Amino acid sequence: MPINTLASFQKSRLSKAITLACIALVATPITVQAATSCGTAGTTTITAAETDQCSLVAGESLVVSETWSITTPIISPFNHAVSINSLTVGSITNNGSLIVGGDKTGIRIENNSTTGSIINNGVITADDGIDISGVSTVLGDISNTGTITSTYGIDINDDTRITGGISNAGTITSDSSAIRIGDNVTIGGSVSNSGTITVGFDKGIEISGASTTISGGITNSGTITADDAGIYVDNSTVSGGITNSGTITGSTGIYITNVSTIGGGISNTGTITANQGIYINGNPPNNSSVSGGITNAGTIISVSTGIALLDVSVVGSVTNSGTIIGYNGIDIFRDTTTISGGLINSGAIISSNNAISFTIDNAVIGFPSKPGHPAISRGQE
For 2, 17, 127, 190, 311, the CA distances from 5, given in Å and listed in that order, are: 5, 18, 54, 79, 87
- The 10s digit of each residue's pLDDT in 28-57 is 333 334 566 888 999 999 998 998 889 999
Question: How would residue 359 be classed by pLDDT, with cut points 50, 70 and 90?
Answer: confident
For 251, other C-beta atoms within 10 Å of its C-beta total 17
- Sketch the domain layout of the chain as residue ranges: 37-133, 165-365
Report the greatest alpha carbon distance in the chain: 110
Helix/strand/coil for 24: helix
Question: How would residue 68 be classed by pLDDT, with cut points 50, 70 and 90?
Answer: confident
* Distance separating alpha carbons of residues 328 and 306, to the nearest angstrom: 7
The pair phi, psi for residue 16, each rounded to 5°, is -65, -40
Share of the chain above pLDDT 70, in %: 83
pLDDT given for residue 75 in this prediction? 53
pLDDT given for residue 282 in this prediction? 85
Helix/strand/coil for 237: strand
- The 10s digit of each residue's pLDDT in 81-103 is 999 999 999 999 999 999 997 78
> Of the ranges 174-183, 317-326, 371-380, which one carries the lowest mean pLDDT score?
371-380
* pLDDT at residue 143 tops 90: yes
* Distance separating alpha carbons of residues 266 and 92, to the nearest angstrom: 34
User: Residues near 356 by Cβ (< 8 Å), separated by ≥ 6?
Assistant: 329, 330, 332, 343, 345, 349, 366, 367, 375, 376, 377, 378
Share of the chain above pLDDT 90, in %: 69
* Distance separating alpha carbons of residues 133 and 128, to the nearest angstrom: 12
For 66, other C-beta atoms within 10 Å of its C-beta total 12
* Distance separating alpha carbons of residues 73 and 101, to the nearest angstrom: 5
* Distance separating alpha carbons of residues 326 and 351, to the nearest angstrom: 5
Closest CA to 184 of 211, 156, 155, 216: 211
Closest CA to 123 of 52, 189, 172, 183: 172
The pair phi, psi for residue 211, each rounded to 5°, is 65, 20
Q: Computed from CA positions of residues 337, 185, 152, 247, in that sequence, does the dihedral angle turn out positive or negative?
A: positive
